[in-house]
Amino acid sequence: MPTMGALHEGHLSLIQLSRQKTDISVVSIFVNPTQFGDKEDFEKYPVTMENDIQLLEQHKVDLLFAPTVDEVYPADYQTKTYDLGHLETILEGRFRPGHFQGVCQVLDRLATIIQPNFIIMGQKDYQQIKVVQKMIELTGKDIALIAGPTLREPSGLAKSSRNTRLTQKEKQQAPILYQAMNSIKDQLTEAVDLEKLCQKAADLVLTHGFHKYDYFSICQRDDLTRLKDYKSGTALIILAAAYIGNVRLIDNIIV
């Protein structure tokens, strides 16, 4: 189970899943520099290693792998690029150029070092799951991906390490992101204009504490292509990314 540390209950729920599915659970903690375009976001990423180790011990994780940057990317590491197709030009791929290449690099390296049978990831990072699946196919690794559901605060706010950077006021306002995605879901009909629906959701967060958004999007769940017309019964996912204070939050709900 790859993580960047600052562990919270979302991570712990994945550990529980891992303990059900496997006989040895390995957690990695590594804040991967190659997946951050924004240097400041990388430098401000919370590090709580002592607390993380305690949580991993309490949850009976067998191994922690907490490498240095040089261990993951040794001097002779040849930077690989992965053909991720349209995933690299839409949604997170569009707004965080290079991010998914970095995600593939680190997961490729971690999987090469650890040699796991499974990689366990959270649905919170649904796009990342799709990208890692692609990396596994491209590299021919024999690894099954397991996705666990998104754990939320009672307010609906998805648990995230970045939430620790929210002020108390921002933390009270941030659940509007989840509410906005649900308002899209609740108003989906075959007659509705999907663009307008997404715009309304964006306006809702912008009037409730968020100051910028990258996207609100209704996509096909399998390949993440943007939906033009809604047909009842289609497997969908609603995805959003928006800024509150100096924190960028992403979330999604499956419909």
- Quote the least distance from Cβ 158 to ligand AMP, whole Å: 5
The string of DSSP letters for the chain reads -EE-S---HHHHHHHHHHHHH-SS-EEEE---GGG-S-HHHHHTS---HHHHHHHHHHTT-SEEE---HHHHS-TTPPPP----GGGGTSHHHHHSTTHHHHHHHHHHHHHHHH--SEEEEEGGGHHHHHHHHHHHHHHT---EEEEEPPPB-TTSPBP-GGGGGS-HHHHHHTTHHHHHHHHHHHH--TTS-HHHHHHHHHHHHHTTTEEEEEEEEEEETTT-PBPSS--TT--EEEEEEEEETTEEEEEEEE-
Asked about 11 being catalytic, the answer comes back as yes
Q: In the complex with ligand AMP, which residue's Cβ is closer, 99 or 124?
A: 124
User: Does the footprint of ligand AMP cover residue 11 (CB under 6 A)?
Assistant: yes
Q: In the complex with ligand AMP, which residue's Cβ is closer, 21 or 159?
A: 159
Q: Which among 14, 2, 20, 55 is positioned nearest to 159, based on CA atoms?
A: 14
User: Which residues pair with residue 250 across a beta bridge?
Assistant: 241
- Quote the least distance from Cβ 7 to ligand AMP, whole Å: 8
Q: Which among 6, 92, 115, 117 is positioned nearest to 52, based on CA atoms?
A: 6
* Position among 59, 130, 141, 159 found at the interface with ligand AMP (CB under 6 A): 159
Total interface residues for ligand AMP by CB under 6 A:
17
* Position among 55, 61, 143, 158 found at the interface with ligand AMP (CB under 6 A): 158
Q: In the complex with ligand AMP, which residue's Cβ is closer, 151 or 202?
A: 151
User: Does the footprint of ligand AMP cover residue 175 (CB under 6 A)?
Assistant: no
Q: In the complex with ligand AMP, which residue's Cβ is closer, 28 or 217?
A: 28
Phi and psi based region of residue 195 (left: phi greater than 0; alpha: psi -120 to 50; beta: remaining): alpha
Q: In the complex with ligand AMP, which residue's Cβ is closer, 151 or 218?
A: 151
- Quote the least distance from Cβ 160 to ligand AMP, whole Å: 5
Binding mask 100-119 for ligand AMP (x = CB under 6 A): --------------------
User: Does the footprint of ligand AMP cover residue 48 (CB under 6 A)?
Assistant: no
Q: In the complex with ligand AMP, which residue's Cβ is closer, 5 or 188?
A: 5
Task: Select from 53-61, 108-116, 147-155, 211-219 the region that touches ligand AMP (CB under 6 A).
Answer: 147-155
- Quote the least distance from Cβ 26 to ligand AMP, whole Å: 13
Note the Cα 97 to chain centre separation in Å.
Answer: 15
Subset of residues 67 to 86 that bind ligand AMP, contact rule: CB under 6 A: none
| Contact positions vs ligand AMP (CB under 6 A) | 3-4, 10-11, 13-14, 121-122, 124-125, 148, 150-151, 158-161
Catalytic residues: 11
